[in-house]
A and B are shown apart, each in its own frame.
Chain A
Amino acid sequence: MIRLDNLTKVFDTPKGAVTAADHITMEVPSGEICILLGPSGCGKTTTLKMVNRIIRPTSGKVFINDEDTTGLDTQDLRRSIGYVIQQIGLFPNMTIEENITVVPRLLGWDKARYQERARELMRMIALEPDAFLKRYPSELSGGQQQRIGVARALAADPPVMLMDEPFGAIDPINRAVIQDEFLKMQQALNKTIMFVSHDIDEAIKMGDRVAVFREGRLVQYSTPDDLLAAPRNAFVESFLGEDRALKRLNLVKVREVVSDEIGTVRPGDTLEQALARIDDFGYQNSILMVNDRRQPVGLITRALARTTKGYCRDHFQNVPATVALDDDLRKVASLMFAQDTTWLPCVDEEGRVCGQITQRAMTHHLGSRFRPTQEDDAPPPDAATRE
């Protein structure tokens, strides 16, 4: 757990005092990733760097696991916090192994222990230990270097990590891969992480909570879904972008929207029966045909059922696509657009039909969470319960 209590930083500049962080009070619960989000110069990086005293706070306190860090020795404090920076900052004079084991060696681990730890970390970040440990940073690609940067921060198994735009300098394709890997690692490691980003999509993807900063102030601190559904003011709203409703598609799983009521027909049914069922369920265009194991095998269209006689098994079309319960709505929407359809069958792990998802249900689910925005800076009525 990281708790900031009225953390303030005032820089003295030739143009006068500049308040970079103004009485920041927030708490990151254990095992969660908190994204500090905002435009450049908003104070997010200053706030992060006050946690490990790269920047000394003017006033205020930092608590880590309920311990006031003010009294701790700076070196000890920093060794107990993993630190990843955008420029990666691997030491070019050291091999990968030496880089990863820097903190354990500072802490005085014996050789066998830190060498084993290096191999363990390399396996964790999916880089072959024997191929990489003896190489130098300049011999690695940017993505590999940042994986090493993350491994170095994790080396002494600190409970808390600070990450300053860690994936900002990596190309978009590799960034997505590293983000996914990191999330997977985090599921196992359960670190408490503060993570600076200026990328709203990254924040939504990575964050359990998002703290939006503006001009040194913490404007809004909530879960990504709440942030997108109820931006506190016009600034947050404009920062999230006009397509913030679409961004929420990433956050909602099919499971939350699926309707388990779905009418189906069997290959042995006649087209007449199929038409009757289409009418019973009120479907506009078609009905799904399933086999004995309830796996989707085809579609019977209304137009065909009305004009033709025979059995379903002789007159079906292919199923355009199916979605799984753990897919997010973004994928569903994309499939619907690509297939020009307003509904898709939903299947469970064994490929059996377990429901359907409709465009109407999606828009309803997203829409029901949007509340009208209040006046600038006036919190919505339920703000107290959310923070």
Chain B
Amino acid sequence: MPIQRLKGALRILLFIAVFLGGVWSQSSGVIDDFLFYLPDVQYLIVQHLWLTAVSGGLAILVAIPLGIVLSRPSMARFAETAMQVLNVGTTIPTLAVLALSMSFLGIGTVPAVFGLFVATLLPIARNTYAGLKGVSPALMEAAAGIGMSPAQRLIKVELPNALYVIFAGIRTALTINVGTVPLAFLIGAGGLGELIFTGIDLYDPVMMLAGAIPTALLAIVVDALVSTTAFVVVPRGVNPSRA
């Protein structure tokens, strides 16, 4: 098969490239340059993750109940308007949200957490609402018809069936959150943005990459963590990845 032969050749080329890259970075001393930033990176990663955890956690705690409330039949009149507001909110660039929150809350961790919280809130609330609204009316009728109370319907039928969509929202939101935290540096909240933006200002690519590469890795790890959680938590019958 020509395609397999091509794949094999590419694999060998990739291996050679990695090897040459390693040789180059060793001989040019780049590795040592990176290692110089290791203590900074360790400290800033903790700060970075802390910002993500607080803002993301708050967002989850607020957004899911918000989505649930908006999806109740009694809220149907306001729900569409509220979702439109959320949609408009999503289109505002995160940098602008941070700038706005800075102008109200000043400089430091609090405005940064607030800005990140707002940016993270929207995808989760939207997915929670959409997921719950997407539960088939037949299921709801069956649940009501066999005598479940509204709360039982929500907990036993609606949420489990919407969980996969809700987790998709959390996954998107947290990945964006991790990628956005570097901007928090601009309003004085620290995080890996410190290395990135300082590196840019000083024309120091190694410093910049020492911030950027861990940020990218963090985003990938958080994404994997959330999708693993979803895989475990979402019941098998409604979990497409376990079908």
* A residues neighboring B (CB under 8 Å): 52, 54, 75-80, 83, 85, 87-95, 102-103, 106, 136-138, 152-153, 162
A106 contacts B157, C-beta separation under 8 Å: no
A78 contacts B147, C-beta separation under 8 Å: yes
A91 contacts B157, C-beta separation under 8 Å: yes
* B residues neighboring A (CB under 8 Å): 136, 138-139, 141-149, 152, 156-157, 160-161, 163, 235-238, 243
Contact of A91 among B142, B145, B236 (CB under 8 A): B142
* Contact (A78, B144) CB under 8 Å given A88-B138, A89-B139: yes
A75 contacts B149, C-beta separation under 8 Å: yes
Determine the chain A residues whose CB is within 8 A of the CB of B236 once the complex forms. Answer: 136
Q: With A78-B144, A88-B138, A94-B160 given, can you name 10 additional A-B contacts, CB distance below 8 Å?
A: A78-B145, A78-B146, A79-B146, A91-B139, A92-B139, A93-B161, A93-B237, A94-B237, A102-B146, A136-B237
Determine the chain B residues whose CB is within 8 A of the CB of A102 once the complex forms. Answer: 146, 148, 156
A83 contacts B146, C-beta separation under 8 Å: yes
Contact of B238 among A92, A103, A106 (CB under 8 A): A92
Contact of B143 among A76, A91, A162 (CB under 8 A): A91
Determine the chain B residues whose CB is within 8 A of the CB of A103 once the complex forms. Answer: 146-147
B144 contacts A94, C-beta separation under 8 Å: no
A-B contact pairs, 14 of them (CB 8 A): A75-B148, A77-B147, A78-B144, A79-B147, A89-B139, A89-B142, A91-B142, A91-B143, A93-B163, A102-B148, A103-B147, A106-B146, A106-B148, A153-B146
Minimum CB–CB distance from B173 to chain A (whole Å) comes to 23
B141 contacts A54, C-beta separation under 8 Å: yes
Determine the chain B residues whose CB is within 8 A of the CB of A79 once the complex forms. Answer: 146-147
Contact of A85 among B145, B163, B238 (CB under 8 A): B145
Minimum CB–CB distance from A244 to chain B (whole Å) comes to 33
Determine the chain B residues whose CB is within 8 A of the CB of A91 once the complex forms. Answer: 139, 142-143, 156-157, 160-161, 237
* Contact (A89, B141) CB under 8 Å given A94-B237, A136-B236, A136-B237: yes
Which A residue's beta carbon lies closest to that of B142? A89
A93 contacts B148, C-beta separation under 8 Å: no
Minimum CB–CB distance from A103 to chain B (whole Å) comes to 5
A93 contacts B160, C-beta separation under 8 Å: yes
Bound CA span A91–B163, Å: 14
Contact of B142 among A85, A106, A136 (CB under 8 A): A85
Contact of B144 among A54, A95, A137, A153 (CB under 8 A): A54
Bound CA span A145–B161, Å: 18
Minimum CB–CB distance from A14 to chain B (whole Å) comes to 16
Bound CA span A138–B239, Å: 11
Minimum CB–CB distance from A169 to chain B (whole Å) comes to 10
Determine the chain A residues whose CB is within 8 A of the CB of B160 once the complex forms. Answer: 91, 93-94
Minimum CB–CB distance from B166 to chain A (whole Å) comes to 13
